[in-house]
Amino acid sequence: MDTRRVGSVTLHQFADFVDESGLDYPFSTVHSLYCQLSQPADTLTEGLMYRNMDGDATLVQLGRRLEDIYGNMGVPFEAEGIGPTGRVTREAFYRVCTKAGLTAENSHALWNSIDLLGGGHLQMESLLLLLEDNVELEEVKRVEEEIANMEGGFMSFFGQTGPVPSPQPKHKRHESCGRPLALTRKLSLGFTEAEAAIDNVLEADSHWDVLFPLTRLAMIKQMQKTVYQPGERIQEAQDNACPLYIVMTGSIQLLSPGLLMETVAEEKSAPQLLFSEEMLEDKPNPFAVKALTATKVFAYSREDFVRSVKHEQIKRTRDVATNMALIKIVPVLSKLTEVQARRLARVRFYQVGFLSICYRVDACLDRLSGLIKRRIYGVKTPSFRKQEEVFFQWKFPSRD
Q: Are the C-beta atoms of 372 and 359 separated by less than 8 Å?
A: yes
Decide the pairing of beta strands 224-228 and 87-89.
Answer: unpaired
**CA dihedral of 105, 110, 113, 115, whole degrees rounded to 10:** -100
Residue 398 pLDDT: 32
| pLDDT at site 193 | 84
Residues of the chain with CATH 2.60.120.10: 223-300
The 10 Å Cβ neighbour count of residue 83 is 11
Residues in the chain: 400
H or E element that contains 142:
helix 137-152
The neighbour count for residue 258, using CB atoms within 10 Å, is 8
Which residues of 250-294 form beta strands (DSSP E)? 251-256, 263-269, 272-274, 288-291
CB 125 within 8 A of CB 166: yes
The candidate with the shortest Cα–Cα distance to 253, out of 217, 287, 303, is 287
Tell me the Ramachandran region of residue 133: left when phi exceeds 0, alpha when psi lies from -120 to 50, beta otherwise: left
Question: Measured between alpha carbons, how far is 166 from 140 in angstroms, rounded to an integer?
Answer: 9
Among 230, 193, 280, 106, which Cα is nearest to 184's? 193
Q: What is the pLDDT of residue 373?
A: 32
CA distance 264 to 266: 6
Nearest residue to 66 via CA among 34, 95, 31, 43: 95
| pLDDT tens digits, one per residue of 93-109 | 999 988 887 888 889 99
For residue 228, the model assigns a pLDDT of 95
Q: What sections of 273-337 are H helices per DSSP?
A: 276-280, 302-304, 310-329
pLDDT at residue 68, as a whole number: 67
| Domain at 223-300: CATH code | 2.60.120.10
Write phi, then psi, for 45 (nearest 5 degrees).
-125, 165
The residue ranges of the chain whose pLDDT is under 70 are 2-5, 21-22, 39-40, 46-47, 50-55, 68-69, 71, 151-162, 172-182, 184, 331-333, 347-400
pLDDT at 51 (0 to 100): 63
Rounded CA separation 300/219 (Å): 7
**pLDDT value, residue 113:** 94
pLDDT of the residue at 384: 31
End-to-end CA distance of the chain: 29
Three-class SS state of 281: coil
What's the helix, strand, coil split of the chain in %, to 5? 45, 15, 40
292-320 confidence digits (pLDDT tens): 999 999 999 999 999 999 999 999 999 88
- pLDDT at position 301 is 96
Q: Among 336, 345, 334, which Cα is nearest to 390's?
A: 334
Q: Three-state SS string across 3-48, please?
A: CCCCCEECHHHHHHHHHHCCCCCCHHHHHHHHHHHHCCCCCEEHHH
Give the closest residue to 198 by CA, choosing from 223, 232, 175, 226: 223
Q: How many angstroms from the chain centroid is the CA of residue 63?
A: 13
The closest of 378, 381, 356, 376 to 23, measured between CA atoms, is 376
If we measure between CA atoms, which residue out of 233, 218, 228 comes closest to residue 300? 218
What pLDDT sits at residue 55? 63
pTM for the model: 0.48
| Distance separating alpha carbons of residues 91 and 104, to the nearest angstrom | 11
Can you name the residues that pair with 372 across neighbouring β-strands? 394
User: Omega before 40 cis (within 30°)?
Assistant: yes
Contact assessment for residue 400 and residue 378, using Cβ atoms and an 8 Å cutoff: no
Task: Name every residue whose Cβ is closer than 8 Å to that of residue 40 and which is 6 or more positions away in sequence.
Answer: none
- The pLDDT, as a whole number, for residue 112 is 94
